[in-house]
């Protein structure tokens, strides 16, 4: 039987190992370059945030992100790389950049928060003005047409603070406010609860009858849904409750219509009250938040609002919530909102009793960081009494 020779492994193995080591060194060098470029990109993202803020623009820019991803896909195909792979990588990079922009938030603090001017959404007689006057009676109310205009007035220094609704006990959260908070460097500096009573207002001689057109803000219409249905009234959306009352009085709304607004609006615009207390829920409350560039010095018995997104790991959200439970911290609000940049990914808005800079709240915020991709404190402020 012929003797078979074993293949010579020594020199070839050593040669192969040297080639592998050289390839790995090249990969390490490329990884270092990628990391350096990523650090530069993150720095530019922060710079972009400041420039957007100066121009009054939102952090999220879907049009810009779409163009970037289209360019990345085109370059990937040109280089012989699977476009889907490049897109996944850059979507993660852009999400991280966006999160970095959102997290840059460091409000100044003051021992006494007494704004002289406060912007609110709506016209004179709006529920926001009513809440403003009740909580800060010495402040001058400054009406704004949209919620975004309130944020802009504060950001640009035209008013000391702004007051916006964030949730209603009947209809739930005001999503637009949450979205504006996410992209703003302003901080929540206080809150106010207002018992909201709705009134049906019209010019003298108008009667409640089926088919009567009722103008008001969508939230107010929703809070009076049962009344409107019972009476056979036609609900028509308007940008503001008090704005509807004002335009009804000024005959900018077709004759023979009515509006849902406050009693103060009826008095201010000289309208007749056709019906009062028409809200479906007798415990109808709206929570308003005060937004400002400055915040009160945090105290242990304050309330804290945060927004975060979780790591893509099983149980990440559970571990975040468990950390609060283990620390015996009471959560007063948990709300999820789509990121709008990536389908089926969410930001979580959470309110808890306690301070972000005192124990145990401070310790919990540190503990949950490994399970979050982004974590931003929206405000630490006195609880409404």
- Hey, is 196 helix, strand or coil? coil
Q: Which residues of the chain have pLDDT under 70?
A: 1-12, 15, 46, 49-50, 52-62, 95-96, 98-106, 111
**Segments making up each domain of the chain, as ranges:** 25-103, 114-194+286-295, 199-276, 298-385
Walk across the sheet containing 272-276 and list its strands: 234-237, 213-216, 258-261, 199-202, 272-276
Domains 114-194+286-295 and 199-276 share a fold: yes
Residues 6+ apart with CB under 8 A from 153: 119, 142, 144, 159, 162
Identified catalytic residue from 286, 304, 310, 372: 286
Could you tell me the fold of the domain covering 199-276? D-Maltodextrin-Binding Protein; domain 2 (3.40.190)
Q: Are 151 and 157 in contact (CB under 8 A)?
A: no
User: What are the φ/ψ torsions at residue 204 (nearest 5 degrees)?
Assistant: -55, 140
Closest CA to 163 of 206, 113, 199: 113
Q: Are 129 and 268 in contact (CB under 8 A)?
A: no
pLDDT of 381 reads 95
288 annotated active-site = yes
- Hey, is 161 helix, strand or coil? strand
CA atoms within 13 A on the CB side of 316: 15
Identified catalytic residue from 288, 302, 324, 352: 288
Could you tell me the fold of the domain covering 114-194+286-295? D-Maltodextrin-Binding Protein; domain 2 (3.40.190)
pLDDT of 50 reads 65
CATH class of 25-103: mainly alpha
Give the separation between CA 242 and CA 233, rounded to whole angstroms.
19
Question: Selecting from 3.30.70.260, 3.90.1150.10, 3.40.50.300, 3.40.630.30, what CATH number does the domain 298-385 have?
Answer: 3.30.70.260
Closest CA to 380 of 365, 316, 370: 365
For residue 91, give Cα distances in angstroms to 82, 96, 193, 313, 343. 15, 9, 40, 18, 11
Q: What is the pLDDT of residues 45-86, one digit of tens each?
A: 767 766 765 665 655 566 777 788 888 888 888 888 888 888
Q: What's the burial of 258, exposed, middle or buried (CB within 10 Å: 0-12/13-18/19+)? A: buried
Give the separation between CA 14 and CA 385, rounded to whole angstroms.
76
The answer for 206, left when phi > 0, alpha when psi is -120 to 50, beta otherwise, is: beta
Structure tokens at 214: 């009722």
For residue 158, give Cα distances in angstroms to 28, 59, 97, 166. 52, 21, 30, 22
Give the separation between CA 294 and CA 112, rounded to whole angstroms.
10
């Amino acid at each position: 039987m012929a003797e078979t020779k074993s293949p010579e492994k020594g020199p070839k193995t050593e040669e192969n190992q040297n080639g592998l080591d050289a390839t790995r060194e090249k990969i390490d060098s490329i990884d270092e370059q990628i990391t350096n470029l990523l650090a530069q990109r993150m720095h530019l993202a922060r710079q972009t945030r400041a420039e957007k803020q100066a121009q009054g623009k939102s952090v999220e820019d879907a049009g810009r992100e779409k163009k970037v991803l289209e360019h990345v896909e085109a370059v990937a195909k040109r280089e012989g790389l699977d476009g889907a792979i490049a897109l996944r990588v850059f979507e993660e990079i852009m999400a991280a950049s966006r999160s970095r922009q959102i997290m840059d938030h460091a409000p100044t603090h003051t021992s006494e928060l007494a704004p002289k001017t406060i912007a609110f959404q709506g016209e004179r007689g709006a529920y926001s003005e009513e809440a403003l006057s009740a909580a800060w009676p010495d402040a001058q109310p400054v009406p704004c047409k949209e919620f975004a205009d309130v944020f802009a007035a504060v950001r640009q220094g035209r008013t000391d603070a702004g007051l916006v609704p964030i949730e209603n006990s009947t209809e739930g959260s005001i999503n637009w406010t949450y979205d504006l908070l996410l992209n703003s460097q302003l901080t929540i500096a206080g809150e106010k609860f207002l018992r909201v009573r709705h009134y049906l207002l019209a010019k003298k001689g108008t009667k409640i009858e089926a088919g009567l057109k009722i103008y008001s803000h969508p939230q107010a219409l929703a809070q009076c849904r049962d009344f409107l249905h019972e009476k056979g009234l036609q609900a028509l959306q308007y940008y503001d409750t008090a704005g509807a009352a004002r335009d009804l009085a000024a005959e900018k709304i077709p004759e023979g219509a009515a509006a849902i607004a406050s009693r103060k609006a009826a008095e201010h615009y000289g309208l007749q009250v056709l019906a009062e207390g028409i809200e479906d829920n007798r415990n109808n409350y709206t929570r308003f938040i005060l937004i400002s560039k400055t915040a009160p010095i945090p105290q242990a018995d304050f309330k804290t609002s945060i927004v975060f997104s979780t790591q893509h790991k099983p149980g990440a959200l559970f571990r975040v919530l468990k950390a609060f439970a283990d620390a015996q911290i009471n959560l007063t609000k948990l709300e999820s909102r789509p990121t709008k940049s990536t389908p089926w990914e969410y930001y979580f808005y959470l309110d808890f009793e306690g301070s972000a800079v005192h124990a145990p709240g401070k310790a919990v915020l540190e503990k949950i960081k490994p399970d979050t991709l982004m974590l931003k404190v929206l405000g630490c402020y006195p609880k409404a009494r």
